């Protein structure tokens, strides 16, 4: 289990979470990615990033609301295959929109 960056990060990427992480396990490629990603193999589940996010995008994997649970897999995927993770973000546009409207 790890913390996950969900839909509210998309097209915001405030980056305060990156500064707050004591183990440097949050990253993204500027100009390419639409959100930041947490490395689940590096996250020590300290929770320091949660309150730093002005979008309220970060949750523990066990606390993700149903429409956003896909982002646990997306964050994990980015560290193995960034292109696949980016495609998954794009493919979940409706899920993202519906969750934000909820």
Least separation, in Å, of the C-beta of 49 and ligand SF4? Answer: 3
Q: Please, what is the Cα angle at 99 between 83 and 102, to 5 degrees? A: 170
What are all long-range contacts of 21-29, with beta carbons under 8 Å and residues at least 24 apart? 21/48, 21/49, 22/46, 22/48, 28/78, 29/82
Least separation, in Å, of the C-beta of 96 and ligand SF4? Answer: 20
Judged by CB, which is closer to ligand SF4: 43, or 99? 43
Least separation, in Å, of the C-beta of 26 and ligand SF4? Answer: 5
Judged by CB, which is closer to ligand SF4: 23, or 84? 23
Three-state DSSP class for residue 74: helix
User: Sign of torsion, CA 62 66 71 77?
Assistant: positive
Binding site for ligand SF4 (CB under 6 A): 3, 20-21, 23, 25-26, 38, 43-49
Judged by CB, which is closer to ligand SF4: 62, or 87? 62
Least separation, in Å, of the C-beta of 72 and ligand SF4? Answer: 13
Residue 24 Cα distances to 37, 90, 99, angstroms = 11, 26, 28
Judged by CB, which is closer to ligand SF4: 45, or 100? 45
């Amino acid at each position: 289990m790890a913390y996950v960056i969900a839909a509210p990060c998309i097209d915001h990427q405030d980056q305060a979470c990156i500064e707050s992480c004591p183990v440097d396990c949050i990253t993204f490629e500027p100009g390419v990615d639409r959100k930041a990603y947490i490395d689940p193999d590096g996250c020590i589940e300290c929770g320091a990033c949660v309150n730093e996010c002005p979008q309220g995008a970060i949750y523990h994997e066990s606390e993700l609301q149903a429409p956003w649970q896909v982002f646990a897999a997306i964050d994990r995927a980015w560290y193995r295959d960034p292109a696949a993770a980016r495609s998954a973000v794009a493919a979940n546009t409706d899920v993202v929109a519906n969750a934000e409207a909820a």
